[in-house]
Chains A and B, each alone.
Chain A
Amino acid sequence: MSPGRIALYITLSVISLLMVVPFVWMVITSLKSPVEIASQDAGLLPGSWQFSNYVDAFRAAPFATYARNSFIIAISHTVLNVLVASMAGYALARIRFRGSEVIFYLFIAALMIPTYTKVLPEFLIVRFMPLAGGNDILGQGGSGWLDTWWALIIPGAVTPFAVFLFRQFYLDLPVELEEAARLDGLGEFRIYARIMTPQVKPALTTVALLTFESSWNNFLWPLLVTRTDSLRVIQVGLSVFKTENGTQWHFLMAGTTLATLPMVLLFLIGQRYFVQGFATAGLK
């Protein structure tokens, strides 16, 4: 190995270490006792490994409920986004109809709108959803979709980004495929479902992974639309251990580890697709 190579390896190792240290630190801290965490001169590793922190954290806060809620929402978003966005992406890519160009540009425009321009009115729409949560037809009187699954799932279900990504993938498919199916007398929806969609598996996986990831990690929206513990999601639920009267670090780190673990695992398993998806999203 040349000296340059060795230097490169060392530099990259140091940088990788810097990226990973907080995670390692988090896991180690989750296994320490509160006394040890508070002490100034305790060693880096726990003196005694407190695996019970995880069990106790579950007892101190309804983590199982938080995790279940996050899971339900992330799965719903993933299924809905893959389904609805792929249909839209297919239609925009392969079917010529009046206004398709305009609709495509509307989706592009939607991509560029900051979350914060939309989030307040979105909240108001949820709050004043007609005929829901005790609201009358004009959306007055009750609490609308606040504190309901609808609010957690519906507004974020379909992303213009997924529509855009699917369109790009469908555009690359050969025309012959479609023509053969048409000669066989298949309807447009069948061509989409049976012939074309199986060809864009990388897009399906990419959108599924990205959707699940952002849904699982979402914080602000669930924070705004839920009040009750039974509907809290894991990212919001974590903050119960950070209170005005001090923070229960051992529980907080155990909870944070639990909230992080599924995403890290999913990333390790689906790394190839994640990488490909992010790259495609950026460069097409």
Chain B
Amino acid sequence: MLMVAPALLHASLWIGLPVLAAVVLAFTKYDVLTAPQFVGLDNFRDMLDDAVFRKSIVNTVVYTFFTVPFGMLLGLLLAMALHTGLKARGIFRTAVFLPQVTATVAIALVWLWIYNPGNGLLNALLSFLGIDGPAWLSSTTWAMPSVILVGIWQGIGMKMLIYLAALQSLPRELYEAASVDGASKVRQFFSITLPLLKPATFFVLITSMISAFQSFDQIYILTDGGPANSTTMMTYEIYKSAFREFRVGYACAQSLVLFVLLMGFTLVNRRIMGGTRGHS
């Protein structure tokens, strides 16, 4: 018991207490300088009228909707390619995983440069093909796709790795039996591999969604939520409410909405996937 005490104490102070405080503060008006004032559901009512926050919810969902499934598909395909026992798989694995260990800030700064309309890499390549590239991050049309591309690019490594680990633990006998029965590779994939990968898929889905829902660094560096709020996300709005407008109570209410949405999505996913979260 004594050995759990330090960790438990730490978690109570830095996780338990903050969560409780967030719930309480969500029902107050609070600017840090003066004492919090109970305002009931005012913050939540304000949120309904807050067009920018509504926009940020839509953006967050759009961002998640594109980065997560596409990233998962690419991660799975890459994992399957690397599972075939290629000689150079260590190099490929390292290359794909590299963005995962790099700070999002560093990555965003490099992409900021790649997307630079005047002298960035992307438009240089496009002009090579005779195409006039847009000002990616300052165009309301292209800013979101640009941010999504970076998100997919950075997230593939982790997804690939988990799939790779899962693939390596699948029983070989099943495939041998299926081959004897004359099942094609495609058939084997859909009737054996995919069902057996269900726990891994669920895990990748949940963790990717949680991190996609909480994207902050790349928005802060790449776009500041602009142009015209076209890339603002829920976390960025929470940050703005709290640290630029000093509406801490409102920000807490916003983060509760984020939390509830995340939990909602997780439960729905779990229902759809049949609740296959295997752990002891």
A217 engages B235 (CB within 8 Å): no
Q: A137 near B: Cβ within 8 Å?
A: no
The answer to whether A124 touches B118 (Cβ under 8 A) is no
B262 and A114 contact, CB distance less than 8 A: yes
Per-residue CB proximity of A257-269 to B under 8 Å, as 1/0? 0011001101110
The stretch from B139-147, B174-182, B252-260 touching chain A is: B252-260
Of chain A, the residue at the smallest CB distance from B111 is A22
Q: Chain B nearest CB: distance from A153 CB in Å? A: 12
Q: In the complex, how many angstroms separate the beta carbon of A97 from the nearest chain B beta carbon?
A: 5
Residues of B within 8 A of A192 (CB): 3
Q: What residues of chain B lie closer than 8 Å to A90, measured between beta carbons?
A: 3
Q: Would you list which residues of chain B between 6 and 62 have a CB under 8 Å from chain A? A: 6-8, 10-11, 13-22, 25, 32
Interface flags for A3-46 (1: CB within 8 Å of B; 0: not) read 00100110111011111111101100100000001111000000
Question: Is the CB–CB distance between A19 and B166 below 8 Å?
Answer: no
Known: A16-B91, A235-B103. A117 touches B98 (CB 8 A): no
A88 at interface, CB cutoff 8 A: yes
> Which of these, B6, B107, B162, B217, contacts A84 with CB under 8 Å?
B6
- Most interface-central of B7, B18, B121 (chain A CB within 10 A): B7
B residues adjacent to A (C-beta < 8 A): 1, 3-4, 6-8, 10-11, 13-22, 25, 32, 78, 81-82, 84, 86, 88, 91-99, 101-107, 109-114, 118-119, 121, 153, 156-158, 161-162, 164-166, 169, 199-200, 203-204, 207, 210, 213-214, 216-217, 220-221, 234-235, 238-239, 242-243, 248, 251-252, 255-256, 258-259, 262-263, 266, 279-280
Q: Is the CB of B252 within 8 A of A121?
A: yes
Residues of B within 8 A of A217 (CB): 102-105
Which residues of A in the span 137-173 have a Cβ within 8 Å of any Cβ on B?
154-158, 160, 163, 168, 171
Within 8 A of B (CB), among A231-284: 235, 238-239, 242, 249, 252-253, 256, 259-260, 263-264, 266-268, 271, 274-275, 278-280, 282-284
| Nearest neighbor of B95 in chain A, beta-carbon distance | A16
Known contacts A120-B248, A252-B109, A267-B98; is A84 also within 8 Å of B32 by CB?
Answer: no
A274 in contact with B22 (CB, 8 Å):
no
Structural contact, B11 and A117, CB atoms closer than 8 A: no
Q: Which of B104, B107, B256 sits near A117, CB closer than 8 Å?
A: B256
In contact, A113 and B19 (Cβ under 8 angstroms): yes
Specify which of B78, B86, B101 is in contact with A263 (CB 8 Å cutoff).
Answer: B101
A160 to B78, CA, bound (A): 30
Complexed CA–CA distance, A157 and B10 (Å): 8
Contacts of B81 in A (CB 8 A): 8, 11-12
Please give the residue numbers on chain A whose beta carbons come within 8 Å of chain B beta carbons, in ascending order: 5, 8-9, 11-13, 15-23, 25-26, 29, 37-40, 84-85, 87-88, 90-92, 95, 97, 100, 103, 106-107, 110, 112-125, 127, 154-158, 160, 163, 168, 171, 188-189, 192, 213, 216-217, 219-220, 224, 235, 238-239, 242, 249, 252-253, 256, 259-260, 263-264, 266-268, 271, 274-275, 278-280, 282-284
* Interface pair B204/A282, CB less than 8 Å apart: yes
- Decide: A22 and B114 in contact? CB cutoff 8 A: yes
9 shortest interchain CB distances as A-B pairs: A279-B165, A88-B7, A121-B18, A217-B103, A16-B95, A121-B21, A91-B3, A118-B18, A87-B3
- Which chain A positions have C-beta within 8 A of B99? 19, 22
Contact status B113-A253, CB under 8 Å: yes
B155 to chain A, nearest CB (A): 11
Question: Contact at A124–B248, with CB atoms within 8 Å?
Answer: yes
Q: Nearest Cβ distance between residue B37 and chain A, in whole angstroms?
A: 15
Q: Are A19 and B3 in contact (CB under 8 A)?
A: no
- What residues on A are CB-neighbors of B22 within 8 Å? 117-118, 120-121
Q: Roughly how many angstroms separate A235 CA and B105 CA in the complex, as a whole number?
A: 7
Chain B nearest CB from A85 CB (Å) reads 6
A37 contacts across to B, CB distance below 8 A: 119
Can you give 30 A-B contacts (C-beta < 8 A)?
Answer: A9-B86, A12-B86, A16-B95, A19-B156, A19-B157, A37-B119, A40-B118, A84-B6, A84-B7, A88-B6, A91-B1, A91-B3, A95-B3, A110-B16, A112-B210, A112-B266, A114-B262, A117-B18, A118-B22, A121-B18, A157-B10, A163-B7, A216-B103, A235-B103, A235-B106, A239-B105, A259-B106, A279-B165, A282-B166, A282-B203
